[in-house]
Amino acid sequence: MSKSAKWSPKEDGSKRLPIYQHKSKLIQAVRDCSFLVVTGETGSGKTTQLPQYLREAGFCKDGKIGITQPRRVAAITVAQRVAQEMQCTLGKEVGYQVRFDDCTQDTVVKYMTDGCLLREVLADPALSQYSVIILDEVHERSLNTDILLGLIKKVFTDPAKATKGRSFPLKVVVMSATLETDKLSAFLSNCPVFAIPGRTFPVTCTFGSAVGPKDLESTGYVKEVVKVALDIHTSEMAGDILVFLTGQSEIEHACDMLFEKAECIDYRYDVTDQSVDGLLILPLYGSMPTDQQRQIFQPPPPRIRKCVVATNIAATSLTINGIKYIVDSGFVKQLNHNSRVGMDILEVVPISKSEAQQRAGRAGRTSAGKCFRIYTKEFWEKCMPEYTIPEIQRTSLTAVILTLKCLGIHDVIRFPYLDCPEERFILEALKQLYQFDAIDRRGNVTKLGELMVEFPLHPGLTRALLKAASLGCQDLLLAVAAMLSVENIFIRPGHPDKQKEADKKHRALAAKTGSMNDFATLLSVFQSCKSSDRPSAWCKENWIHWRALKSAFSVETQLRDILHRLQQKKDFPVETFDGNKSELFRRCLCTGYFSNVARRSIGKVFCTMDGHGSMVHIHPSSSLFDQEGELNWVIFHDVLATSRVYIRTVCPIRYEWVKDLLPKLHEVDAYELSSVAREEVTAEEMTKWESREAAKRQSEVSDEDA
């Protein structure tokens, strides 16, 4: 075993991790083969240690080691940790890159999101800068990781293509926490699997009584997890608590409640374990500031119990030491393509049983633990699926299909997917790209499509931005695109009085624009803050997250740079606008959002116009929430499902603006778009597809009748 590590001796505990005993064998395994699957319990050291081992063993000689993560926070915190272990400045030898935040400079160990690597593939399909690519957290089955897997299989398992554009062969390591390793190995030419034996301790799981099959729609789980966490704190022995909730607002709400209740504990009488006399409450979610994230990993002060309230990120991506108790809400927030509604909807859904087991396992890393599930056994049996469906089978594929097309992969139906998405999802994506003018009737990428793929934004937003740019009013859309790319900018305080005050300020901001239009409000907030002498004070006064706005400023600059670069091309589109100037902004938005159009049906109910005709409501956070009367047609940015299906970030429009753009789905031949030559589609397949489509339309009609 090599002992030449420059930065050792290490005192960071990394030698105590299960992976350490397998160091030399692992290095040898990577040397010996082009593809390797590595599996091991979460927390065994895969993410933080393997890249360091490979670096030490000289794998950075020819190129970088790139490690992908499905989650942004994971990429950042892990890079921080590794930089600390290697005793170097973050961003130098070890760095990270996530969307709109590049912290790399002569970096050889680069952590990044899978989305970032996918963008790099676009620019350099041979990945010529890398000597090793590690796809991490593959079990999460994120859309981008799945696509990367397919691309790597397509290019690098084919000896004829593998060395094209490269002077040395690429090593690929695929890391996964769970079972599916045989499947992964089979997918990658039956490559070897390296299993790191883990050690885990038993975790006792108990079911609760608060959430049953009838409670799918209620949000009572927030209150319940708070109650259970407090019960643990007062009646269980010392040891930290990890609470699994769904998203930022629920987590902040729960932390507020916990804080309030914990204040009232009298530690002389109320707690069983007298060695505990305080509770440290820490939130953990995706868009949190990084300095706050760092706290999560620090051991609590003596006599204090730590309670982390987290999203699913703490299930596998990040390991917090010292956790002895789990509180599992049983829910997760997921972006799902809802085929009944025909849209991607952010919704709270029950987790899968395998996910629940993973969550519970977090309590048994260093000693026996306990997991308190707030849901009933019946809920487990009736509402929770066995496994989580891979993202590729449940979200919109528009952006990745455009990426594949731009990589010259025309037959997107027969791309090597680890699990195939439903064909109709692919066809839907193709239709949408066609409607954006990103591909032509033959399924070939257009000039506009080549421009669109350059932006790390939703294709619709990109389309609107490019329209604005072609009309010379990009400033309007750059700011809006930036604002929609950062975390929520409006502060929502937990206290009802404060909430009223914040609401009032937010309504005033919306009214200031003179039009009830949430996009215009975002633009106005951006501009007012930017032009203010004391922007942070301005934010505070208006109940706006200053941190989010700072990110928005940075994102806007980056988008502007991309646009500027593209505008240098001689065939960048230029158009003129002969309509009413006051309509310009909304007309640009319509170019990108015409598939998100809704018409007032009755009262406060709107009906989407995408061929699905789903019933939606305007979200209470919108300035249009209480508008009646004139408001008949609207476009919206996204959809959220709680007790109802809500549309968020809404803008009133006129029917004339979209009538020519409204999807004419039946007019395009989706198979033609898929570049499957006409002859290759048998008449039988075509008939099958047509009758399926017809049946779908029929069932939607009857759904509405019901």
Of the candidate spans 47-55, 322-330, 569-577, 615-623, the one that interacts with Mg ion by CB under 5 A turns out to be 47-55
Q: By C-alpha distance, which of 7, 11, 13 is closest to 321?
A: 13
In the complex with ligand ADP, the residue whose CB is nearer, 319 or 398, is: 319
Residue 329 phi, psi (nearest 5): -70, -25
- Sort strands 240-244 and 323-328 into parallel, antiparallel or unpaired: parallel
- DSSP output for 111-143: EEEHHHHHHHHHH-TT-TTEEEEEE--GGG--H
In the numeric block, which tokens belong to residue 484? 């929609």
Q: By C-alpha distance, which of 561, 546, 532, 558 is closest to 487?
A: 546
Min CB(93)–ligand ADP separation in Å? 17
Strand ranges in 464-604 using DSSP code E only, listed in sequence order: 597-602
Q: How far is it, in rounded angstroms, from Cα 8 to Cα 85?
A: 9
**Residue 144, binding choice from Mg ion, ligand ADP, none, Cβ under 5 to 8 Å by partner class:** none
In the numeric block, which tokens belong to residue 442? 């033959």
Min CB(477)–Mg ion separation in Å? 38
Measured from each CB, the residue nearest to Mg ion is 47
Q: How far is it, in rounded angstroms, from Cα 55 to Cα 5?
A: 10
State the maximum Cα–Cα separation within the chain, in Å, rounded to a whole number. Answer: 81
In the complex with ligand ADP, the residue whose CB is nearer, 40 or 208, is: 40
In the complex with Mg ion, the residue whose CB is nearer, 46 or 467, is: 46
Min CB(317)–Mg ion separation in Å? 6
**Residue 622, binding choice from ligand ADP, Mg ion, none, Cβ under 5 to 8 Å by partner class:** none
Min CB(43)–ligand ADP separation in Å? 5
> Which residues does residue 681 pair with via DSSP β-bridges, in sequence order?
none
Q: How far is it, in rounded angstroms, from Cα 323 to Cα 134?
A: 28
Whether 296 contacts 308, CB under 8 Å:
yes
DSSP state of 679: G
**Residue 324, binding choice from Mg ion, ligand ADP, none, Cβ under 5 to 8 Å by partner class:** none
In the complex with ligand ADP, the residue whose CB is nearer, 80 or 145, is: 80
**Residue 674, binding choice from ligand ADP, Mg ion, none, Cβ under 5 to 8 Å by partner class:** none
The site for ligand ADP (CB under 6 A) is made up of: 17, 40, 42-49, 77-78, 80-81, 297, 319, 321
Residues 436-455, interacting with Mg ion (CB under 5 A): none
Residue 279 phi, psi (nearest 5): -130, 125
Among 39, 47, 470, 649, binds Mg ion (CB under 5 A): 47
Q: How far is it, in rounded angstroms, from Cα 378 to Cα 535?
A: 52
In the complex with ligand ADP, the residue whose CB is nearer, 75 or 341, is: 75
Encode 517-542: b = buried (16+ Cβ within 10 Å), e = exposed: bbbbbbbbbbebbeeeeebeebbeeb
In the complex with ligand ADP, the residue whose CB is nearer, 297 or 689, is: 297
CA angle 277-279-283, nearest 5°? 170
In the complex with ligand ADP, the residue whose CB is nearer, 78 or 480, is: 78
Q: By C-alpha distance, which of 598, 601, 613 is closest to 697?
A: 613
Min CB(304)–ligand ADP separation in Å? 18
Q: How far is it, in rounded angstroms, from Cα 18 to Cα 30?
A: 18
**Residue 444, binding choice from Mg ion, ligand ADP, none, Cβ under 5 to 8 Å by partner class:** none
Min CB(46)–Mg ion separation in Å? 5
Assess 181 for contact with Mg ion (CB under 5 A): no
In the numeric block, which tokens belong to residue 489? 């900018």
Q: How far is it, in rounded angstroms, from Cα 338 to Cα 355?
A: 21
In the complex with Mg ion, the residue whose CB is nearer, 46 or 506, is: 46
**Residue 432, binding choice from Mg ion, ligand ADP, none, Cβ under 5 to 8 Å by partner class:** none
Min CB(544)–ligand ADP separation in Å? 30
In the complex with ligand ADP, the residue whose CB is nearer, 15 or 92, is: 15
Q: Which helix (H) or strand (E) holds 698?
A: helix 683-705
Min CB(19)–ligand ADP separation in Å? 7
In the complex with ligand ADP, the residue whose CB is nearer, 38 or 143, is: 38
**Residue 542, binding choice from ligand ADP, Mg ion, none, Cβ under 5 to 8 Å by partner class:** none
Min CB(45)–ligand ADP separation in Å? 4
In the complex with Mg ion, the residue whose CB is nearer, 42 or 334, is: 42
**Residue 248, binding choice from ligand ADP, Mg ion, none, Cβ under 5 to 8 Å by partner class:** none
Of the candidate spans 43-51, 190-198, 293-301, 698-706, the one that interacts with Mg ion by CB under 5 A turns out to be 43-51
Min CB(101)–ligand ADP separation in Å? 17
- State the alpha helices, DSSP H only, in 179-338: 181-187, 221-235, 248-263, 290-297
In the numeric block, which tokens belong to residue 203? 């975790």
Chain residues in the site for Mg ion (CB under 5 A): 46-47
